[in-house]
Amino acid sequence: MLKFVVASLVLLIVTEAWSQGRPVSTAMTCSRAASLVASQGAVILSTGVYTYDRYVSGSTFCVLGETTEPAWVPTADNPKCFVGYQCRQRFQRQSNR
């Protein structure tokens, strides 16, 4: 019986963690979304039903060879809220054609 209770608790904890989705920008104010990125440094935000991306507070959260680019997302009170930055490739290789 004890094994069943322990297994049930573990399953409940795993299910709870799995069901927690990423923050949704359209469900929060612009200042809340911006402060979330600023306080966490790097956050994956949903910006719509099937859309999401990673937003950072600065270039220290990007990998070597990347730079930052300003990022705006829709929020509950602002359709173009500046939340921070996105990491982008610093140099893009030109194709030889």
pLDDT (tens digit, 9 = 90+) per residue, 28-53?
999 999 999 999 999 999 999 899 99
Give domain limits for the chain.
22-89
Whole-model pTM over 0.85: no
Give the separation between CA 49 and CA 9, rounded to whole angstroms.
Answer: 31
Question: H/E element holding 31?
Answer: helix 30-40
Question: H/E element holding 76?
Answer: none
Structure tokens, 97: 């054609």
Give the separation between CA 63 and CA 58, rounded to whole angstroms.
Answer: 11
Is residue 95 pLDDT above 70, yes or no? no
